[in-house]
Structure 1
Amino acid sequence: MSIPSAPVAVPPIVVSRARGDRVVPVWRNELGGLTFRAEPLEGAPRYIKWGPLQNETSMAAEAERLEWAVRYAAVPRVIEHGSDATHEWLVTAALTGESAVAPHWVARPAAAVVAVGRGLRALHETLPVGDCPFEWGVESRIANAAGRGIHLPESLRKAPDADKLVVCHGDACCPNTLIDGAGKWSGHVDLGALGVADRWADIAVASMSTEWNYGPGWEDALIDAYGVKPDRERIAYYRDLWNAT
């Protein structure tokens, strides 16, 4: 996953969804998907996600989750979702701030990891578990993996007892937190796997991603900003589960 550094061919469906606005590529994922910012001459920008249909994640699932979560938290408002025989797309309104891995924040990792940790805690405290219709617990993740032909080792089939159930982001890697100009978290994006699970399922992945994005030494700083002590057993389990699925 990365910010594109070379010219990107804009798919025709993205051109049509941009409706004449300037289109800027802002993200490429490992599944071949692209995200573009559509910049009108007047008014607010929009974001257009485009990618191949596949069974690991679904933009339809993300649209459904965003439409639920936007009532409670700073997440993108869905404008449009669609698909054809091979690809799908999702158009959302822009939020304030920029990704925690924008060059400005990569150069300031101490500030970025604090914003990500605090933002994740705020998301967990804001989204209501009792009203959430989506599941991201271990059993559902194992079943999803099996449906994709991934057979997990026995060591991953029994999770540690849950510490605290929350509505997890589902992909809490640092790029998916937005930070405003004052250095405070301002929103969350890419919530296609959002659902109820132990909070360590998110914390483990968010802290692990600090090394990919900022280099070694920032994991515990993010956990401290979240407001808990590192739970090494749960961290190890949920990182192994993440990497295996």
Structure 2
Amino acid sequence: MELPHRLHRLIGPDATWSADHEGASGTALRVRSGAEVFYVKYGPLARAEHLRLCWLRGRVPVPVVVAFDDPVLVLADVGAPSLEAAAPADIGTVLGRSLRTLHELPVTECPFDGRLPAVLERAAANVRNGLVDSEDFDADHLGLTPEAIHDRLLAAYPPVEDLVVAHGDYTPSNVLLPSSGEPVVIDVPALGVADRYRDLAIAHRDLSEDHGPAAWEAFLSAYGLVDDIDEERLYFYRLLDELL
């Protein structure tokens, strides 16, 4: 990554760079410069995340933006582990409570569009352009082609959208838990106005598969949605996630 000049001065020439950190996904590099630690992101997703972090500031706890020089985003280290390190029941409770706070933000104030027409257009473009990694599909979709997933997606199109300010990739690894204070939401380039089930589907998949049904039940209780779970919408938004 070639840093703009002012960011190079900020981080310093002797900084240590690493892609080996908790939750590493190839989208962020951990940088230690003296006693300070930063996370650096690059490209269109960094640009999208910067806009959303600026909007979220003061609304929900998010990382501090140290600097942004398009297309490089520098974030302060929160200094806290993700929820992946917590006990299953605690994971579900904190994840549900934090998502409820996010979903209670006024939709009318959010300038980012994650509604189905816009997101389905992006999913279809990813399929056409060969940008979908079918080897990363969920276990029950392995062996299917992106085109087959897309066909299933269109066939399952839900009749309604229950719009909230949605995270777009709401997993336990994207919520940090400081020893004191509120949970911190990270990795928000996909945040926008969307059906609440876009977040519920990903939370359900990760909690159920990785932490067991008790974590999912704790999540539902903390979120405030115990009855009337729409299984068809859960599946639709899990299909959608395969293509994004």
TM-score, normalised relative to structure 2 = 0.74
Q: Equivalent residue for 1:244? A: 243
One-letter amino acid of the structure 2 residue matched with residue 78 of structure 1: V
Q: Give, in whole Å, the separation in 1 of the partners of 2:53 and 2:216.
A: 28
Residue 162 of structure 1 and its aligned partner are, at CA, apart by 3.6
Partner of 2:102: 123
- Aligned equivalents of 1:243, 1:204: Cα separation in 2: 12
Q: CA deviation at 1:211?
A: 4.2
- For residues 139 and 179 of structure 1, the distance between their equivalents in structure 2, rounded to whole angstroms, comes to 34
Which of 13-22 and 93-102 deviates more? 13-22
1:47 and 1:156 mapped to 2: Cα distance? 41
Q: Secondary structure at the match of 1:218?
A: helix
Counterpart code for 2:40? K
1:82-161 matches, within 5 Å, as: 82=69, 89-95=72-78, 97-102=80-85, 105=86, 108-125=87-104, 127-150=105-128, 152-153=150-151, 155-156=153-154, 159-161=157-159
1:80 matches 2:71: no
> Hey, what does 1:49 align to over in structure 2?
40
The answer to whether the 8 A contact 1:27-1:35 is kept is: no
Pairing of 1:55-66 with structure 2 (within 5 A) = 58-66=45-53
Residue 177 of structure 2 corresponds to residue 198 of structure 1: no
Query: What is the RMSD computed on CA atoms of the aligned residues?
Result: 3.0
**1:160–1:234 CA contact under 8 A, matched in 2:** yes
User: 2:31 and 2:211 mapped to 1: Cα distance?
Assistant: 24
- Structure with a larger share of its residues in strand: 1
Deviation at 1:202, TM superposition (A): 0.6
**How far apart are the structure 2 equivalents of 1:204 and 1:155?**
14
CA distance in 2, matches of 1:13, 1:26: 21
Equivalent position SS for 2:49: helix
CA–CA separation in structure 2 for the residues paired with 1:46 and 1:63 = 18
Q: Does 1:224 align with 2:221?
A: yes
Pair 1:92–1:50, CA change in 2 (3 A): closer
Please state whether the residue corresponding to 2:183 is helix, strand or coil.
strand
Count the aligned residue pairs: 217
